[in-house]
């Protein structure tokens, strides 16, 4: 069996073959019930989500990821969150079997599956109890690599992505800036050409995993805003080696509410040199390229939110069955049952929106009748619905458990803290409503 100590090529091949042999072994379609019984027979995790309608590939991903995650119990996540300690072991376990490259092409060593399967992977990680600590430790490697794989030259693709897939390298995604916030087209960090290099100066904020990442997907301004024809031009995309020992870069970790095992950072660039060969696509067209990764990110975040919500509801339902007050289980009271049941139905609705968006994203690569706007509307709708449903599920789970909902050792307080992230990032609820009002309802742009 290949291990991480063997050569990169071996690990990648092993991972890809392993994922494909898993998929092949499921062969012909089965009824959802048979699938459900067989899939979860070997794990102690009994999920709440209805699995009818998912593809064999998605269900196999779900089963396999649950098995890996069953080695990471709730206590592991509670301790890593409390100690603010990076969950390196989960990333290594997923890389070992090829999962980091789940949605990257096979010619690069990826599994060649889609964002639909990657969304299922991230949902399952969150749902296993890992929450945002688990998901944020790897998700940039899945979504931020989408525009690289699509728009990089053949030479760039090979040299840039294989180490991420094998788990040898990790990337962070650096877009957000403190002075421009959600107004991405006004980004101020500059990259100025100097010989064979670009020289980067400016500031990024909230960059997840930058402390451990050795690669960075970076969006920076190569033409001043005043000089561009359209506001969407003048930004360029780079995929760089993120060498923190070089001069011109400084990181500051941000103390945060949830997902504390994974670092988030302010990054200060001051004449930081990057090779011009790290530019992806055409100079000045980076915003369009990054949108490709952003829609994938919305799908993954939707899955992560769903996972948090289902996990919280499961913990609350189990507690409500066991906890006896006034001579009967609290879960026998409709005052406890109904809020949890309503939260469950909201999650099920958001689940349909999520996997619809992921399917559109995947199909749009081959079917030109699926417009970028249709994918954008679906991905934003899914992210909004899933994040709100997760919030309702987490809040009701905490409240249903009374004082124990507030105790770290019962874990739902952690999911409650975590579930603010999908509501805020990568785009806020308000900006999604602005976007939907404009693109789906045809109302005048408000921002
Ligand atoms: C845990 C975490 C991890 C993150 N990881 C990354 C990462 O790895 N890489 C990265 O690039 N970024 C990352 N982000 C950043 C994240 O994408 C941004 O925080 C998010 O896009 C919101 O931007 P902002 O914080 O600047 O909000 P602001 O733009 O300051 O907005 C603040 C509030 O005002 C509202 N608002 C602003 N304008 C309008 C308007 N016109 N109409 C209505 N409401 C409006 C917003 O909806 C929001 O509620 C992360 C954030 C968090 C919290």
List pLDDT tens digits, range 374-418: 999 999 999 999 999 999 999 999 999 999 999 999 999 999 999
The pLDDT score that the predictor gives to residue 21 is: 66
Ligand 1 atom nearest 175 alpha carbon: 11
Residue 133 Cα to ligand 1 midpoint, Å, equals 19
Q: Tell me how far the alpha carbon of residue 185 lies from the centroid of ligand 1, in angstroms.
A: 14
Asked, as a colleague might, if the bond just before 426 is cis with ω within 30 of 0, I would say yes
Give the ligand 1 atom nearest the CA of 427: 21
End-to-end CA, the chain = 54
Res. 15 pLDDT band, cuts 50 70 90: low
Return the pLDDT at 17. Answer: 65
C-alpha dihedral, 335 to 336 to 341 to 344, nearest 10°: 140
Q: What's the CA-to-centroid distance between 428 and ligand 1, angstroms?
A: 6
pLDDT value at 24 more than 90: no
How confident is the prediction for the chain on average, in pLDDT?
A: 91
The residues lining ligand 1, judged by C-beta closer than 6 Å to any ligand atom, are 172-176, 181-182, 206-208, 256, 259, 264, 421, 424-428, 430-431, 434, 447
Q: Probe ligand 1: pick from 134, 145, 182, max atoms within 8 Å of CB?
A: 182
- pLDDT for res 40: 43
Residue 119 predicted with pLDDT over 70: yes
pTM > 0.75: yes
Minimal-distance CA residue to ligand 1 atom 50: 206
Q: What is the pLDDT of residue 18?
A: 65
Q: Give the pLDDT confidence of 365-374 residue by residue, as tens digits.
A: 999 999 999 9
Q: For atom 17 of ligand 1, which residue has the closest CA?
A: 426
**Cα distances (angstroms) measured from residue 30 to each of 35, 64, 342:** 6, 17, 30
- Res 35: pLDDT: 38
Given a cut of 80, whether residue 16 has pLDDT beyond it is no
Task: Decide: 147 and 288 in contact? Cβ < 8 Å.
Answer: no
Helix (H, G, I), strand (E, B) or coil at 31: coil
Spatial CA neighbour of 288 closest among 232, 240, 238, 234: 232
pLDDT given for residue 188 in this prediction? 97
Judge whether residue 247 has pLDDT over 50: yes
**Residue whose CB lies within 8 A of the most ligand 1 atoms, among 257, 418, 431, for a mutation test:** 431
CA of 336 to the centre of ligand 1 (A): 34
Q: What is the pLDDT of residues 201-232, one digit of tens each?
A: 999 999 999 999 999 999 999 999 999 999 99
Out of 126-135, 151-160, 353-362, which region has the weakest mean confidence (pLDDT)? 151-160
Pairing verdict, β 328-329 and 190-194: unpaired
């Amino acid at each position: 069996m290949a291990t991480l100590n063997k050569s990169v090529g071996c690990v990648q091949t092993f991972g890809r073959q392993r994922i494909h042999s898993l998929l092949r072994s499921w062969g012909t379609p089965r009824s959802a019930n048979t699938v459900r019984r067989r899939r979860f027979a070997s794990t102690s995790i009994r999920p709440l989500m209805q699995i009818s309608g998912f593809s064999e590939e998605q269900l196999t991903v779900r089963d396999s990821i649950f098995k890996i995650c069953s080695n990471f119990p709730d206590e592991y996540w509670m301790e890593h969150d409390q100690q603010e300690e990076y969950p390196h072991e989960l990333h290594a376990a997923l890389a070992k079997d090829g999962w980091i490259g789940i949605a990257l092409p096979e010619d690069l060593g990826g599994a060649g599956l889609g964002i639909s399967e990657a969304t299922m992977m991230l949902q399952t990680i969150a749902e296993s109890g890992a929450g945002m600590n688990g998901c944020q430790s790897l998700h940039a490697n899945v979504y931020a690599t989408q525009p690289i794989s699509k728009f990089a030259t053949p030479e760039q693709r090979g040299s840039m992505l294989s180490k991420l897939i094998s788990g040898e390298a990790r990337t962070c995604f650096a877009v957000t800036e403190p002075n421009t916030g959600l107004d991405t087209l006004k980004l101020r960090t500059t990259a100025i050409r100097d010989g064979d290099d670009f020289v980067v100066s400016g500031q990024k904020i909230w960059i997840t995993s930058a402390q451990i990442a050795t690669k960075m997907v970076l969006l920076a301004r190569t033409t001043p805003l005043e000089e561009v024809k359209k506001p969407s031009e003048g930004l360029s995309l780079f995929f760089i080696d993120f060498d923190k020992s070089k001069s011109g870069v400084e990181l500051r970790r941000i103390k945060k509410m949830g997902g504390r095992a994974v670092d988030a950072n302010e990054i200060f660039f001051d004449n930081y040199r990057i090779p011009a060969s790290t530019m992806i696509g055409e100079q000045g067209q980076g915003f369009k390229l990054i949108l490709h990764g952003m829609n994938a990110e919305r799908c993954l975040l939707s899955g992560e939110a769903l996972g948090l919500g289902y996990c919280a509801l499961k913990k609350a339902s189990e507690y409500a069955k066991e906890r006896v007050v006034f001579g009967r289980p609290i879960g026998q009271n409709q005052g406890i049952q109904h809020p949890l049941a309503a939260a469950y139905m909201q999650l099920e609705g958001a689940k349909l929106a999520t996997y619809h968006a992921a399917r559109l994203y995947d199909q749009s690569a081959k079917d030109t009748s699926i417009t970028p706007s249709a994918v954008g509307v679906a991905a934003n709708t899914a992210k909004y619905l899933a994040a709100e449903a997760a919030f309702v599920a987490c809040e009701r789970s905490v409240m249903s458990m009374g004082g124990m909902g507030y105790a770290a050792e019962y874990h739902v307080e952690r999911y409650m803290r975590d579930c603010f992230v999908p509501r805020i990032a990568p785009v806020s609820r308000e900006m999604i409503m602005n976007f939907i009002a404009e693109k789906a309802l045809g109302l005048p742009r408000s921002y």
